[in-house]
Amino acid sequence: MSLGRRVRLEVLILAVLAIAAFCVSQRSFGMFLFASGLAILSWYVTEGPRGRRLPKWLSLATLGVIVANACWEWFLRPDPSEAMSILGRFSMWLTVLKLYESRGARDDAQLLALTAVLVISGTLETIDLLFAVLLVAYGLDVMRVAMLIELASVAASASVGSAADGGPASGRRFTRSLRRTVGFTLAGATVTAMVVFAVFPRRLDADPRRPFGGGPVSGFVDEVDLFSGERITESRREVFSVRWIDRQGESVRFPQPMLLRGAVMDRYQVVSNRWIPARGPSQARTVTVREDLPMTPLSIPSVRPRSETYRQQVEMRSMSTATAFAAFAPIGVHTEERRTFAIDERTLVVREIGLDRVSRLQSYEVQIEPYPGPETLAPLLGRRGGAVPSLPEFPIPEIREIALELLSDLVDGELPTADQARADPEVRWERNRIVSRAFASWLQDTARFRYTTDLRDFIRLDGEDPIVAFLQRHRFGHCEYFASALVALCRSVGVDARLVTGFVAMEWDPGTRQYLVRESNAHAWVEVRTGRFLWSSIDPTPPESLESIASSGRGWFDRFRWIYDRAELFWSSRVISYDGAVQASLAERLGREFEGAGDRVAAWLDDGRSRLAQRLSLGRTATVWFLAVSATLMAGAAAGALVLRRRRRVRRRSGLPRSAPAASLEAASVHLETMDLWDRAGLAPASWQPPRAFLQSLGASWSEAVALSLPIVDLHYRSRFAGEVPTTTQLGDVRQRLERLRILLRRPH
């Protein structure tokens, strides 16, 4: 295969690799099959028997279609978060187009740049392990392909050389040299990347010690965007497993779907249509896990466990996050290593904080009281918990009109007014229960509302709120729309409600007696205030829809998915979450380990010295004796290293194999010193001239020196090529000749 054809093949492989990486970032297997299929087909079309290329006019027309498609995608969704996806798809189709065109070295370089844009677009879209593997493969391959492109460019521009210069570089030696150069480059780039990664960690948050507040967290986001489906996925990837342990220590099944809380939101932004957590002064209490306790309390004073207390054991499978997903209400936490947690006194959400960690949570245990009373919640919520004011009324007037109309139809009998509820707390809690349950039952009616994760038909009108569109026009959506609608309806009539996101555990494995929580189990529901301290969970999503999602898509591959999930957990917890806090913790831990190891080695040496001195009865001279012996050993080691280094140098210059005897190495060493003496005398053989021919070409003025040198060269020739092992007498003779030659060549001629 010619060099140019090989370069085109390597560029094609690199393009397919970049397409695969981008499609993985978009989680689109269909797009990968279509785009990579077109790319691979280009090799048969352009390099096959007929060798056809795309006409210029057709190439320009296709380019216009690609540009128009990218502009149309941006016009449909002018969202900055979609910019990299649109750029990636544009680069992907442009890459496929260029594979069908006539290509030179410059076109191959352009293709290389396009694949780089494609991979960068994917890098900004995902943190998946599979993408990381493809990214590493691409990064290693792109350097080799870049060298081949440069080599092809040089070979194409070089004229046919004369016999003297030999034309473009070729041959086995050149191939080995190229492979060695590529290998050293890839190794150097890999080591450099690892060092840069370790020294300059990612900045995941402005203050890694801050317990709550909007910083990006791997695997979970504490905001809900009603025009983004990033949470809604039907992926079967396992996120974590949950065991529900009773007071007898047995793993049991919870009588209803287990809602594991991750974030609580009570503020709705009308402009951006987002739910966000309440902003304001931090109300978090920090707790550091104690290894000497089976469970570290999350409150002061600690809550005394009751008979209905359970332990929730969580083992992460693929997701890395600082959030401790737990059912309501957590009263204690435990981890295998020292960790610091913060519990928000407003929401009882538990998250890991602090600098004393090397990776994100991989396993933890939370003590739960699923039916808490005031004696449990009061210490958890602190002084603020019982004095939380009513949440503000929902800011969309149309929602209030819908809610008042529904209440007149859904509630039988006389309902207490909002004024009566504000005057009497018990009336307030009862009214909250009645209103929220009525709205939830109405939303769960499958004859009125339909659950779906496909929102392509959810058309947004200018100026219309998505919750209003869900209630009045579309009446279909996923769990975030159902939960948002219930919160909006409740808040519009004075009922305190907030949006909660996390996971719902429904898939029970009877063999291992644990719940398997997958990405498709990501969920949103509602908490309504039904007591001074109590918030009750209400899920307005039709239960039949959740059950169908939990049971759909199960296949034989799920049995082996844990292998990949384990690797992805290592990737996300050890690599993706590597930030300044982890770096500081790791450096501190390594410093302690090195310091401890140094102390142990010093103590071991001192103990060994004392025992040896005592056994040899050295007395006060022990230190001097040890110093003398150590200096002798160090000198011997240095001399041995110099001898080994000299032997390697002689073997490399003379071309002797590793199995060559010591006498042959000595003969080669004398031969090399002889030629070095001639070189220092200003007489060196040409690159094509053997040493013996060089000596015979010298004039009569050098006859004596030549007579001394020829036996040295001949002995090396017989040893190197005839396998003769020089004797001690022969080696002594050539050494004497070398000394006489050294004196002779110093004289002027």
pLDDT tens, 390-418? Answer: 788 898 999 999 999 998 888 877 788 87
By the 10 Å C-beta count (0-12 exposed, 13-18 middle, 19+ buried), 371 is classed as exposed
pLDDT digits (tens, 9 = 90+) for 515-547: 988 888 889 999 999 988 889 999 999 988 777
Nearest to 217 by CA among 572, 580, 587, 585: 572
For 653-679, write each residue's pLDDT tens digit: 887 887 888 888 899 899 888 888 888
How does residue 64 score in pLDDT terms, banded at 50, 70 and 90?
Answer: very high
CB atoms within 10 A of CB 21: 27
In tens, the pLDDT along 104-153 reads: 778 888 888 899 888 888 887 777 778 888 888 888 888 888 888 777 77
Whether 232 has a pLDDT exceeding 50, the answer reads yes
Radius of gyration in angstroms for the set of CA atoms belonging to the chain, rounded to a whole number: 38
Q: What is the pLDDT of residue 96?
A: 92
Q: What are phi and psi of 383, to 5 degrees?
A: -70, -25
596: burial class by Cβ within 10 Å (0-12, 13-18, 19+)? exposed
* pLDDT tens per residue, range 488-507: 999 999 999 999 999 999 88
Q: How confident is the model at residue 202 (pLDDT cuts 50, 70, 90)?
A: low
3-state SS of 364-433 is EEEEECCCCCHHHHHHHHHHHHCCCCCCCCCCCHHHHHHHHHHHHHHCCCCCCCHHHHHHCHHHHHHHHH
By CB atoms closer than 10 A (0-12, 13-18, 19+), residue 591 is exposed
Selection from 535, 309, 524 nearest residue 436 by Cα: 535
Residue pair 414/399 in contact (Cβ under 8 Å)? The answer is no
Best CA proximity match to 265, nearest among 526, 495, 493: 526
Q: pLDDT tens-digit profile of 693-725?
A: 888 888 888 888 889 999 999 998 898 888 889
The confidence score (pLDDT) of residue 163 equals: 39
At residue 485, does pLDDT exceed 90? Answer: yes
Q: According to the per-residue pLDDT averaged within each range, which of 213-217, 228-232, 505-509 is highest? A: 505-509
- Identify the burial level of 349 via C-beta atoms within 10 angstroms of its C-beta, where 0-12 means exposed, 13-18 middle and 19 or more buried: buried
Task: Give the pLDDT of residue 210.
Answer: 37
Q: pLDDT digits over 610-663, tens only?
A: 776 666 555 556 666 667 777 888 888 888 888 888 888 888 888 788 788 888
Q: What is the pTM of this model?
A: 0.61
pLDDT at 439: 95
Q: Which of 238, 241, 323, 324 is nearest to 565 (CA)?
A: 238
What is the helix (H) or strand (E) element at residue 332, kind and residue range?
A: strand 330-334
Tens of pLDDT, residues 407-465: 888 887 778 887 888 888 899 999 999 999 999 999 999 889 999 887 877 887 888 89
